[in-house]
Amino acid sequence: MASFDSPSAPPPPLADTGVPAGVSGAILVVDDHDLLRLGVSALVQAQAATSGARIAVFEAGNIADALALYAAHEVAIGLVLLDLALPDTHGLSGLAEFRLRFPAARVVVLSGTANSTLAQGALALGASAFLPKSADLKEMVGFIRACGLFEADGTPPQPLPPAALPKSLSGYAEFAHASAWQELTPRQMQVLQWVLEGKANKEIAQLANLSEGTVKNHVSTILLLFGMRSRAQLISMLR
């Protein structure tokens, strides 16, 4: 968690939520790149200071640590900034696991690429927004401000207004196959991502440490859920 005082000052007392007393809320930044976590933390705290608010920033470099931190500070954390490319996740599996454990969590997904397939799946799985990492960090701050976390009076987080969604992605929440994304298991999402990358069942079996028969069953289930007759049709539709 980021420090709010100089090293020589005594640590502020902790509230029941586990954050320093007087802090209006907390954000969890989940990314395996130290510089991105540091950049988000610094920008968030700088923006919060201009409005007199104090925000704690928790940091995690993988989904396992993120889930543990959220479980310990669920009451205080008003927003989760979640990178999809973590060491212990693949595709949307991290988001799926987070939503399964904490369905009420407010999650903004970060991705290294503006991939429409991932955006569709992330929003269908309940992410509040999808932001490419190529976007300005100030856009992330915009989401945080929209959530009301910069309010110095401790006002509870507000619902994220639809207008805050990137215009190019806002329509994906109504994606025709949203129900299919919601029914996929984390393993099936992983297999789907490999299928979209053009990998054959044999390659997927080796990567996932599964039998080819098991992979074939996963692919068949995915095709059925999306109403597709072939891998080629599925790839054409989702890319």
Q: What is the pLDDT of residues 184-206, one digit of tens each?
A: 887 888 888 888 888 999 999 99
- The pLDDT-based confidence of 69 (bands split at 50, 70, 90) is very high
List Cα–Cα distances, 115 to 56, 96, 204, in angstroms: 31, 17, 21
The span from the first CA to the last CA of the chain, in angstroms, equals 38
Average pLDDT, the chain: 75
Side-chain-side CA neighbours of 67 within 13 Å: the count stands at 16
Nearest Cα neighbor of 219 from 202, 102, 118, 100 is 202
- Note the pLDDT of residue 85: 86
Side-chain-side CA neighbours of 12 within 13 Å: the count stands at 17
The amino acid at 105 = A
In the chain, the percentage of residues whose pLDDT exceeds 70 is: 69
Please answer whether residues 57 and 47 qualify as being in contact, where contact means their C-beta atoms are separated by less than 8 angstroms: no
Query: CA 211 to CA 216: how far, in whole Å?
Result: 9
Query: Which pTM was predicted?
Result: 0.63
- The pLDDT-based confidence of 178 (bands split at 50, 70, 90) is low
Q: Is 71 strand, coil or helix?
A: helix
Query: CA 223 to CA 213: how far, in whole Å?
Result: 15
The amino acid at 17 = T
- Tell me the average pLDDT across 50-66: 87
Q: Each residue of 136-175: pLDDT tens digit?
A: 666 667 767 766 666 655 554 555 544 334 433 334 333 4
